[in-house]
Structure 1
Amino acid sequence: MKIALLGYGRMGKSIEAIAIQRHHNIVLKISDANSNYDFSDADVAIDFSIPSAAVTNIKKAIDAGIPVVSGTTGWLDQYSEVIEYCKKKDGTFLYASNFSLGVNLFFELNKKLSTLMSGFSEYTTEIEEIHHTQKLDAPSGTAITLAEQIIEQSDYKNWTLDEPKDSELLIEAKRIEGVPGTHEITYNSEIDAISIKHKAHSRQGFAMGAVIAAEWIKDKKGIFNMKDVLNIG
């Protein structure tokens, strides 16, 4: 498979290494949305660019008729626009806030626990996420996904990074040098606490998942997510 890498930072380099291990070819590597690039040799594009470049990169791939997998976060206020654009162009797009197999299983566990806890108002809920200091957005896309899952099953109306008010779910976002990613959900009451936690040991799981998603999406049409790739949930 011939892959175009849209974004060539740490994740882009990790994806390149795993793709080559899996006998794929990297035919294009770009670092910003202002580059003039040609998708004619690519079978699929993988986008891990910066938030300000993501929408432009994704649309360029869709315009070229190339399936695109995106893991860039921090641009989701334009997600609906990109989905409609992809549908209009009869394109192929897969977005995931996290490509790790473990995290996607963690999403399913979070949904199950939030459903179980929905009937117990004596518990308050908090999310803590920790990432490396180079991560540009806060909270992480993974933390937002976890929060949205909890909100759907509870009386919380939205999430906040600040001191929570009524009906607000607190996300505490920390940035620590050298930490690949940790997410923990805690339910606290006066008498006990229940928590679930996912801790990444390296970026390899994210990169592997992105390459597997690209392998899966090649030659398909439509809008997809990692649940489709992994056949879970």
Structure 2
Amino acid sequence: MKIALIGYGRMGKEIEKIALDRGHEISLKIDVDNQSDLTADNLKKCDVAIEFTIPASAIDNYKLCFEAGIPVVSGTTGWLDRKEEVYENCESKNGTFFYASNFSVGVNLFFELNRKLAALMSDRSEYDVEMTEVHHTQKLDAPSGTAISLAEDILNVSPTKNKWVNDKVPASNELNITSEREGQVPGIHTVKYESEVDYIEITHSAKSRKGFAFGAVLAAEFSAENKGILTMKDLLNL
């Protein structure tokens, strides 16, 4: 499979290693120094694109992939306020778009655990819920896309919380997400339910970027064989 890497930072380099190990070819690498090479003609020479850039450029990159007629796997976060626009553009071009706030297989199992715990706690009014996410200092968005996904799954079943907030003292109807940035932490996400007498806490802690990169390559392989709007739930049959 011929892969276009749009974004060749730390994640892009990790994805490249895993893709090559799995027998794929990196046919196009786009970084800040060669952005003029990101054209529909060059993309058409590839089977799939994996996009890890920044919110300001991501949507234009997606649309260019749709125009070129190749599937795109998106690992960029912070653009979801324009999600409907992207999905509509993909569908109008009969394209394929795979988005995940986190490509780690472990994190996606953690999402399932979070949903089950949230359902169990939905009628336990004596517990209040809060979240913490910790990432490296180079991470641009806060809270993380993974934290937002976790929070939204809690809000979907909570009888008392109807919105999430970031780094503030929450009102009774708000779920606070504390964002911490330190060192080279790949990602730690914690959901905590606390009462007067005890607390229940679940945590996922990434050891490195390798798990994210491996999941992104799996998503690229899956996207090359499937059509439409795809997610990790489709890939993992969750």
Same fold (TM over 0.5): yes
Aligned counterpart, 1:188:
194
- C-alpha contact (below 8 Å) 2:97/2:229 kept by paired residues: yes
Work out the CA distance in 1 between the residues paired with 2:18 and 2:72.
Answer: 18
TM-score where L is the length of structure 1: 0.97
Q: Which amino acid is the alignment partner of residue 47 of structure 1?
A: E
**SS of 1:211 mapped into structure 2:** helix
Aligned counterpart, 1:166:
172
Decide whether aligned partners of structure 1 residues 45 and 180 sit closer, same or farther in structure 2, where only a CA change above 3 A counts: same
Deviates more, 1:199-208 or 1:49-58: 49-58
Aligned counterpart, 1:135:
139
Aligned counterpart, 2:212:
206
Correspondence for 1:45 among 49, 56, 67: 49
Work out the CA distance in 1 between the residues paired with 2:181 and 2:105.
Answer: 23
Give, in angstroms, the shift of residue 34 of structure 1: 5.2
Work out the CA distance in 2 between the residues paired with 1:150 and 1:216.
Answer: 28
Deviates more, 1:107-116 or 1:35-44: 35-44
Work out the CA distance in 2 between the residues paired with 1:6 and 1:34.
Answer: 9
Correspondence for 1:74 among 56, 69, 78: 78
Give percent identity, aligned residues only.
59
- C-alpha contact (below 8 Å) 2:44/2:69 kept by paired residues: no
Deviates more, 1:150-159 or 1:25-34: 25-34
Give, in angstroms, the shift of residue 227 of structure 1: 0.7
Work out the CA distance in 1 between the residues paired with 2:27 and 2:203.
Answer: 38
Q: 1:230 and 2:231 equivalent?
A: no
Q: Which amino acid is the alignment partner of residue 19 of structure 2?
A: A
Q: Which amino acid is the alignment partner of residue 39 of structure 1?
A: L
Once the two structures are superposed, residues 94-145 of structure 1 have per-residue CA deviations (whole angstroms, 9 ceiling, x without a partner) of 1000000100000000000000000011111011000000001000000000
Structure 1 spans left out of the alignment, 5+ residues = none
Mapping for residues 1-233 of structure 1, pairs under 5 Å: 1-32=1-32, 35-37=36-38, 38-154=42-158, 155-161=160-166, 162-232=168-238
Deviates more, 1:33-42 or 1:155-164: 33-42
How many aligned residue pairs are there?
232
**SS of 1:35 mapped into structure 2:** helix
Deviates more, 1:163-172 or 1:26-35: 26-35
Alpha-carbon RMSD: 1.1
Work out the CA distance in 1 between the residues paired with 2:237 and 2:12.
Answer: 25
Work out the CA distance in 2 between the residues paired with 1:167 and 1:130.
Answer: 24
Give, in angstroms, the shift of residue 36 of structure 1: 3.9
Work out the CA distance in 1 between the residues paired with 2:14 and 2:82.
Answer: 26
Once the two structures are superposed, residues 52-102 of structure 1 have per-residue CA deviations (whole angstroms, 9 ceiling, x without a partner) of 111011110011000011010011111111001101111000100000010
Give, in angstroms, the shift of residue 187 of structure 1: 0.1
Work out the CA distance in 1 between the residues paired with 2:128 and 2:13.
Answer: 40
Give, in angstroms, the shift of residue 35 of structure 1: 2.9
Q: Which amino acid is the alignment partner of residue 211 of structure 2?
A: G
Structure 2 spans left out of the alignment, 5+ residues = none
Once the two structures are superposed, residues 147-205 of structure 1 have per-residue CA deviations (whole angstroms, 9 ceiling, x without a partner) of 00000010211100122113110000000111010000000110100000000000000
Work out the CA distance in 1 between the residues paired with 2:221 and 2:214.
Answer: 11
Deviates more, 1:32-41 or 1:84-93: 32-41
